[in-house]
Chains A and B, each alone.
Chain A
Amino acid sequence: SQTIHQWPATLVQPVGSPLSLECTVEGTSNPNLYWYRQAAGRGLQLLFYSVGIGQISSEVPQNLSASRPQDRQFILSSKKLLLSDSGFYLCAWSLGGRDGKLFFGSGTQLSVL
């Protein structure tokens, strides 16, 4: 069976510090991978998605970046965090194609102070 691991669960970072969130998927090959952000009481904002190693599509211009160094690994980074980067970050995977069902990790609650 497929599993997705996302860590850490919570993170408190000062403004201007770097960020690295990691997500890995087990039990499947060549998944589509996604990073979403959710502000308090809001919906999910698509940040990045990837259909293969090294292939990253960015949806929102911002100070975040994503990388996919391995087939089942997706990393979200920032060189300098802003207050507005606070939120609930969710990694997800899907099989792709017409079946776009997403399966989410447990999320990272990021507070930038």
Chain B
Amino acid sequence: QKEVEQNSGPLSVPEGAIASLNCTYSDRGSQSFFWYRQYSGKSPELIMSIYSNGDKEDGRFTAQLNKASQYVSLLIRDSQPSDSATYLCAVAARVASKIIFGSGTRLSIRP
């Protein structure tokens, strides 16, 4: 079992709709959870972090964490063409300094 799993996509969403990205992790002791966005050929950039169960909203982005189900999600409202990118889920493991990434989900926003 992979430590952090994501659907590789591609996920195609019409402009203006909600994009929903999902991630599961295997280590129940994980403490911190992150979503990064990566454009082709570029470095990942942090868009959301979440540490407690529930929802966390920042602009058009909402991160959701369910530790009991070992599940993290990212919702992008009012999707824009500029949101087309690969979204990487990352988890800080029981050893907090060790940060593991999923394989990423490619998101495509169609006009």
Binding site for B on A (CB under 8 A): 32, 34, 36, 42-46, 49, 51, 57, 59, 90, 94, 96-107
Contacts and interface: CB of A to CB of B under 8 A. Distances in A.
Given A43-B88, A44-B88, A98-B32, A104 B98 contact: no
Given A45-B101, A100-B96, 16 more contacts: A32-B97, A43-B103, A43-B104, A44-B44, A46-B99, A49-B97, A49-B98, A90-B43, A94-B97, A98-B51, A98-B96, A100-B99, A101-B34, A102-B36, A102-B44, A102-B46
B106 to A, nearest CB: 9
A13 B46 CA distance: 31
Given A51-B97, A97-B96, A104 B88 contact: no
Interface string B87-107: 010101000111111111000
Interface SS of B by simple majority: strand
Contact of A100 (B43, B45, B92): B92
B97 A99 contact: no
B44 A104 contact: yes
A11 to B, nearest CB: 15
Given A100-B34, A100-B92, A101-B46, A44 B101 contact: yes
Given A49-B97, A105-B43, A43 B51 contact: no
B49 interface: yes
B31 interface: yes
B86 to A, nearest CB: 9
Given A100-B32, A100-B34, A102-B90, A94 B44 contact: no
A104 B51 contact: no
Nearest to A96: B97
